[in-house]
């Protein structure tokens, strides 16, 4: 009897437990690099989050919501978004897009932009559909497309180095129009656009967006437009929303994040804005997965947006001040890196800056038996030996194209001046060691 029982238990245990849709998507580099940074780094310019505080008006709004006497803010709120937040987001985006929006059907609140993206892929991508992803890309797009049963189709931004010896800019990385057009087919369901782009900091121009829009309309393709860095644009450049281009509103879902907008990534408040014909299906995913998002965080973000609506375009606006401050930090890190020969690609937007490390090959010991790309080996060596954490750029490429982009690493400059100074000190010391050896 006992033998029979244990045999039957064993037999049951041997069946596969993993759902097939998880095959091949179990690796996540953040797990490895966040751990390495926590163990070795003195200065962490790896993961994308600010180490400076969120603005007072936002944290005060949170405190008021928490203990201001409205005990209902501790309970569930409307599933698809706390009414004050969807209302103010609708008002804000009406201004930005120049069209009327219904807060109940054209806006949905999510657990960060990450869940917004998950809802998009689950709701819009079917088994066998192709989804075009522009490389380099925020790494979660690929596994999310695959989990929905879709096939990612990659198209790279191609670097065109300036001839005049100037530093490269993220604007020098461009799509080849013919190559992009060749990726669209009958099977293409959607394209993922991320402007301003993580990791390069590229802000797509009106011309580039026009080309993408034209192809979307021609092939009846949807656009998932990840605009989480929409306020972080530098040098007077303008962030253009593809949904405002002709023929695009009806086929675009805009993804946003309060984490990036208000420097509070831990709050995990995100949203989608788009036509009801698309958002109704995102609501189906939302109601069958997360359903409600944290009420107090939504209330505080709503108040943050109400303030910004009042101050829109004025010098006191956080959306005016934050990019100014970050541009200064960007310029500082550009100088530091340039000074030590780690050629920076000057970003037009975002928290990030990509630097060329090809001149540092002799610093990093060769590991003949390893098939790890140079940028991975470099980033690991740098954090262990110099205490400075950054992320290898090839992480942001598909398996097939990774090996073409192994001479770069990504730094995050959304950091306190003291953190950037500590990074500069490490780089300067490194340079001295190099010149004296
Ligand atoms: N999209 C991009 C391009 C990002 O860089 C990030 C965060 N690193 C997200 C989405 C996710 O944002 P959230 O933290 O709001 O989930």
pLDDT tens track, the chain, 437 positions: 566 666 666 666 788 899 989 988 888 888 889 999 999 999 999 989 999 999 999 999 999 999 998 999 999 999 999 999 999 999 999 999 999 999 999 999 999 999 999 999 999 999 999 999 999 999 999 999 999 999 999 999 999 988 888 999 999 999 999 999 999 999 999 999 999 999 999 999 999 999 999 999 999 999 999 999 999 999 999 999 999 999 999 999 999 999 999 999 999 999 999 999 999 999 999 999 999 999 999 999 999 999 999 999 999 999 999 999 999 999 999 999 999 999 999 999 999 999 999 999 888 887 777 788 999 999 999 999 999 999 999 999 999 999 999 999 999 999 999 999 999 999 999 999 888 87
Instruction: Please tell me the distance from the alpha carbon of residue 225 to that of residue 221, in angstroms, as a whole number.
Output: 13
Ligand 1, atom 8: closest residue by C-alpha: 48
* 194 within ligand 1 shell (Cβ under 6 A): yes
Ligand 1, atom 7: closest residue by C-alpha: 48
* 231 within ligand 1 shell (Cβ under 6 A): no
* Domain spans of the chain, in order of start: 27-54+318-436, 56-311
User: Which distant-in-sequence residues (6+ apart) come within 8 Å of 251 by Cβ?
Assistant: 216, 217, 220, 221, 222, 223, 278
Q: Which of 228, 253, 270 to mutate to test the pocket of ligand 1 (most atoms within 8 A of CB)?
A: 228
Q: Which of 112, 135, 229, 262 to mutate to test the pocket of ligand 1 (most atoms within 8 A of CB)?
A: 112
Q: Which two tokens stand for residue 33?
A: 């690099």
Nearest to 319 by CA among 46, 92, 87: 92
Q: Specify the CATH class of 56-311 in words.
A: alpha beta
* 350 within ligand 1 shell (Cβ under 6 A): no
Rg for the chain, CA atoms, rounded:
23
Atom number in ligand 1 closest to CA 115: 16
Instruction: Please tell me the distance from the alpha carbon of residue 10 to that of residue 8, in angstroms, as a whole number.
Output: 5
* Predicted TM-score of the model (pTM): 0.95
- Residue 222 has φ and ψ, to the nearest 5°, of -85, 160
* 228 within ligand 1 shell (Cβ under 6 A): yes
Atom number in ligand 1 closest to CA 114: 16
Characterise 220 by phi-psi region: left (phi > 0), alpha (psi -120 to 50), beta (else).
left
Instruction: Please tell me the distance from the alpha carbon of residue 89 to that of residue 271, in angstroms, as a whole number.
Output: 9
Q: Which of 54, 229, 259, 293 to mutate to test the pocket of ligand 1 (most atoms within 8 A of CB)?
A: 259
* 226 within ligand 1 shell (Cβ under 6 A): yes
Find residue 273's DSSP bridge partners: 107, 254
Check residue 164 and give its pLDDT: 84
- Give 124: exposed, middle or buried? Use CB within 10 Å, 0-12, 13-18, 19+: buried
Instruction: Please tell me the distance from the alpha carbon of residue 310 to that of residue 318, in angstroms, as a whole number.
Output: 11
The b-or-e profile of 227-262 (16+ CB within 10 A means b, else e) is bbbbbbbbeeeebbbbbbbeebbebbbbbbbbbbbb
In angstroms, what CA-CA distances link 348 with 159, 170, 199, 206, 234? 15, 6, 11, 14, 5
Instruction: Please tell me the distance from the alpha carbon of residue 234 to that of residue 63, in angstroms, as a whole number.
Output: 32
Cα three-residue angle 401-404-410, rounded to 5 degrees: 95
3-class state of residue 158 by DSSP: strand
Atom number in ligand 1 closest to CA 258: 15
Q: Report which secondary-structure segment, H or E, holds 192.
A: strand 188-194
27-54+318-436: what fold?
3.90.1150
Length of the chain: 437
Check residue 435 and give its pLDDT: 83
**DSSP state, 349?**
B
3 CA from centroid of ligand 1 (Å): 53
H-only helix segments in 14-155: 29-40, 56-67, 83-97, 112-124, 141-147
């Amino acid at each position: 009897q006992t033998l029979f029982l244990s045999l039957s238990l064993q037999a049951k245990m041997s069946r596969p437990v993993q759902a097939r849709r998880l095959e091949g998507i179990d690796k996540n580099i953040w797990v490895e690099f966040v751990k390495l940074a926590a163990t070795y780094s003195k200065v962490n310019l790896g993961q994308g989050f600010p180490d400076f505080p969120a603005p007072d008006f936002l944290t005060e709004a949170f405190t008021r919501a928490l203990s201001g006497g409205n005990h209902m803010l501790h309970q569930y709120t409307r599933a698809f978004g706390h009414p004050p937040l969807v209302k103010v987001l609708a008002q804000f985006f009406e201004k930005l897009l120049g069209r009327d929006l219904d807060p109940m059907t054209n806006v949905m609140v999510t657990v960060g932009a990450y869940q917004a993206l998950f809802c998009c892929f689950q709701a819009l991508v079917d088994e066998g559909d192709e989804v075009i992803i522009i490389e380099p890309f925020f790494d979660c797009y690929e596994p999310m497309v695959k989990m929905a049963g879709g096939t990612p189709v990659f198209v790279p931004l191609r670097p065109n180095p300036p001839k005049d010896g100037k530093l490269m800019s993220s604007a020098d990385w461009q799509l080849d129009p013919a190559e992009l057009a060749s990726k669209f087919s009958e099977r293409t369901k959607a394209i993922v656009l991320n402007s301003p782009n993580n990791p390069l900091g590229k802000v797509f121009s009106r011309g580039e967006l026009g080309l993408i829009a034209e192809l979307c309309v021609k092939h009846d393709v949807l656009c998932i437009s990840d605009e989480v860095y929409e306020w972080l644009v530098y040098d007077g450049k303008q962030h253009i929303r593809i949904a405002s281009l002709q023929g695009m509103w009806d086929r675009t879902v805009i993804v946003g994040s309060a984490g990036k907008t208000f420097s509070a990534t831990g709050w995990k408040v995100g949203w989608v804005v788009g036509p009801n014909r698309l958002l109704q299906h995102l609501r189906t995913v939302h109601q069958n997965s997360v359903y409600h998002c944290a009420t107090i965080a939504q209330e505080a973000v709503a108040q943050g947006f109400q303030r910004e609506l009042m101050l829109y375009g004025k010098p006191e606006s956080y959306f005016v001040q934050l990019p100014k401050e970050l541009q200064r930090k960007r310029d500082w890190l550009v100088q530091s890196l340039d000074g030590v020969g780690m050629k920076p690609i000057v970003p037009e937007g975002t928290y990030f800056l990509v630097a060329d490390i090809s001149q540092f090959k002799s610093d990093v010991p060769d590991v003949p038996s390893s098939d790890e790309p140079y940028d991975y080996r470099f980033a690991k060596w740098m954090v262990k030996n110099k205490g400075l954490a950054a992320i290898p750029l090839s992480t942001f490429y598909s398996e097939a194209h990774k090996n073409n982009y192994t001479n770069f690493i990504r730094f995050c400059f959304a950091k306190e001046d003291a953190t950037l100074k500590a990074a500069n000190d490490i780089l300067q010391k490194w340079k001295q060691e190099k010149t004296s050896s």
